[in-house]
Amino acid sequence: MEERGMPLLGEKIPEFEVQTTHGKMKLPDDFNGKWFVLFSHPADFTPVCTTEFVAFQKRYNKFKELNTELIGLSIDQVFSHIKWVEWIKDKLDVEIKFPVIADDTGKVAGKLGIVHPGKGTNTVRAVFIVDPQGIMRAMLYYPQELGRNMDEILRMVKGLQIGDENKVAIPANWPENEIIGDHVIVPPASDEKTAKKRLESAKKGEIECFDWWLCHKKL
């Protein structure tokens, strides 16, 4: 199994040709022009993973509204994935519509650095948010016993997209920040001239500022 450290933010995700429940795919090429969330789970037919797959599917349309696709992964054979997805449909009446990578050789997990230490070949609960250029924009890393919060992953995708489109930063707990509510943060001034302009903009009501370095606005 090829192993390396987890890719860094701002790096291009490694290229893979993978077998999935939807057939063979090439990453990131098959998602060119779209954001995608690649998430790994420890194993098929396990309780927490089952709740996660249902939760992701329940929000799949919301991800698609953000031009974002989902793709799962574990070190299981594709036959196991297919039977597990069928079980979820039969027993829980939820049809999993996104593909799941069968990484039974461990090649993908090894390159992404997501093999759980001390747990054999199990993969951790990792989440990689990748932009339309194939660049790694965010990563989350969970232990096996803690299921993920899919609403937070949705918030992250939306926040990253808004930040890119508007050249702003996103505050804590946005859009329900304790200080500025649903406003976004104007990047801090890096020189005296820009700082002065920020305060002038605040006087005109174009933005709001607590000080020159903490300015915000409503989109």
pLDDT tens string 119-142:
566 788 899 999 999 999 999 988
Mean confidence (pLDDT) of the chain: 92
Q: Which domain holds residue 78?
A: 16-149
pLDDT at position 194 is 87
Give the β-pairing of 35-40 and 23-27: unpaired
Look at residue 160 and tell me if it is in a domain: no
Give the β-pairing of 68-74 and 35-40: parallel
Q: How many domains does the chain have?
A: 2
Amino acid at 175: P
Query: pLDDT above 90 covers what percent of the chain?
Result: 72
Residues annotated as part of the active site: 49
Check whether the bond before 28 is cis (ω within 30° of 0).
yes
Residue 122 CB contacts under 8 Å (≥ 6 apart), including other chains: 42, 43, 75, 115, 116, 144
Tell me, yes or no, whether 37 and 102 share the same domain.
yes
Tell me, yes or no, whether 34 and 140 share the same domain.
yes
Query: pLDDT above 70 covers what percent of the chain?
Result: 95
Tell me, yes or no, whether 49 and 138 share the same domain.
yes
φ, ψ for residue 186 (rounded to 5)? -80, 125
Q: What is the CATH number of the domain that holds 49?
A: 3.40.30.10
3-class SS at 4? coil
pLDDT tops 80 at residue 42: yes
pLDDT tops 80 at residue 112: yes
pLDDT tops 90 at residue 208: yes
Look at residue 135 and tell me if it is in a domain: yes
The answer to whether residues 69 and 34 touch, using CB atoms and an 8 Å cutoff, is yes
Tell me, yes or no, whether 25 and 67 share the same domain.
yes
pLDDT at position 1 is 42
pLDDT tops 60 at residue 17: yes
- Burial grade of 29 (CB within 10 A; 0-12, 13-18, 19 or more): exposed
Which of 1, 200, 6 has its CA nearest to residue 113? 6
pLDDT digits (tens, 9 = 90+) for 52-102: 999 999 999 999 999 999 999 998 999 999 999 999 999 999 999 999 999
pLDDT tops 80 at residue 3: no
Look at residue 195 and tell me if it is in a domain: yes
pLDDT digits (tens, 9 = 90+) for 163-186: 999 999 999 999 999 999 999 999
Tell me, yes or no, whether 108 and 189 share the same domain.
no
